[in-house]
Amino acid sequence: MRLIYKLLRWVVGLFFLTSVAAVFYYKWCPVRLTPLMVIRCVQQMKAGEKPRLKHQWVALSEMSRYMPVAVIASEDQRFLYHNGFDTEAIGQAIQERKEGKRRRGGSTISQQTAKNVFLWPDSTWLRKGLETYFTFLIECCWSKQRIMEVYLNSIEMGDGIYGTEAVAREHFSCPASELTRSECALIAATLPNPLRYSSLRPGPYMRKRQAWIKRQMKHIPLLEEEK
């Protein structure tokens, strides 16, 4: 028992040190590859398909200024004000689940960033616990601008497409810096399920959601440059 306890201490200590080191590393360095990118490639190869991975890191300053506004309007309207966890949205999601209504997520952009960069997509209690831990770390160590920059570079935005630069070039034939307000809203409209909804060939539902996001964007301030 003493040996097991000692080993457990070493494992926990090593995890803590490596996780903190990884968070500090990504505070300044680009995220070139995420667990989800690897998982998707493995899934494609298992299906007998050629792996699809289109991703190009760009700084937040090289993206359209409307892109952060669009995803905040779509995914997390209190992003600039909470500490990584939107207790109001979580409470609403729990209440709706109790009432048997359609389930919706209460995850913030910070939580999604933690999951995308450090974890896997399965919705298990272990992953949720680790997501909480990493969300706390990045909120303590990164600025809101950095969280947004990593989020917009790592999130899945189509089949084999990751990040704003890749989706801009694949679906709109332009760099991320040239995306219009309307195009940013359309990209944000796909984020609940980018494998089901496409910003390249949007249907009526996507156009309706795009219009809603554009209306919400009027109430979201532009993200200030990091000082």
> What is the pLDDT, as a whole number, of residue 102?
52
Nearest C-alpha neighbor of 189 from the set 217, 150, 218, 170: 217
> What is the pLDDT, as a whole number, of residue 123?
81
> What is the pLDDT, as a whole number, of residue 144?
97
How far is 209 from 222, CA to CA, in rounded Å?
21
How far is 164 from 38, CA to CA, in rounded Å?
19
Q: Does an H or E element contain 55, and which?
A: strand 54-55
Q: Which residues of the chain have pLDDT under 70?
A: 89-91, 93-106, 227
Q: Does an H or E element contain 162, and which?
A: strand 161-162
Where, residue-wise, is CATH 1.10.3810.10 in the chain?
73-154
> What is the pLDDT, as a whole number, of residue 1?
73
> What is the pLDDT, as a whole number, of residue 155?
96
> What is the pLDDT, as a whole number, of residue 192?
86
> What is the pLDDT, as a whole number, of residue 87?
77
How far is 2 from 104, CA to CA, in rounded Å?
45
Place of tokens 């200030």: 224
CATH number of 73-154: 1.10.3810.10
How far is 164 from 131, CA to CA, in rounded Å?
23
> What is the pLDDT, as a whole number, of residue 207?
97
DSSP label at 218?
Answer: T
> What is the pLDDT, as a whole number, of residue 5?
81
